[in-house]
Copies of this chain bind each other. A is one copy, B any other.
Amino acid sequence: MKIGELAARSGLTAHTLRYYERIGLLPYADRNRSSHRDYDASILTWIGFLTRLKTTGMPIREMVRYAALRNDGPATETERREMLERHRARVRAHVDELQESLLVLDAKISGYAGADERMQAHDTEPSLRRKPAGARTTGAR
């Protein structure tokens, strides 16, 4: 597979793929006689995993470190596992933080007037929200 196809299949651009090779995220690709990169389909699995790491906010230099360890073979497995465990902990913490923020956002949104009508129209998730905060029937405003 040439770089254009890999780009299409991986969702990255050819520029980015070359950049990733340059910095060590992707292994140096075999070149054909025209020095065009020739990829094996298995690279897609690795790129998929890298994309997960990226999605979850791992900095590139850490991904590079992980890639280097991977390249050094089974002896580095413990270290790799530990990296992923640390990363997982960070991601979990981040998720918690986001969920807390979602509550704040919910509160703020329901604090805006005129919400009710549009709630009917836009709200895709009617549960758990209509909590009229006591007997204060919003007579006047």
Contacts and interface: CB of A to CB of B under 8 A. Distances in A.
Interface of A: 49, 52, 55-56, 77-78, 80-81, 84-85, 87-88, 91-92, 94-95, 97-99, 101-102, 104-106, 108-109, 112-115, 118, 122
B99 A95 contact: yes
23 contacts: A49-B108, A52-B104, A55-B97, A55-B101, A56-B102, A81-B112, A81-B114, A81-B115, A81-B118, A84-B108, A84-B112, A85-B109, A85-B122, A87-B105, A88-B102, A88-B105, A91-B101, A91-B105, A92-B102, A94-B98, A95-B98, A95-B99, A95-B102
A88 B104 CA distance: 10
A94 B106 CA distance: 16
A109 B122 contact: no
Contacts of A55: 97-98, 101
Nearest to A48: B104
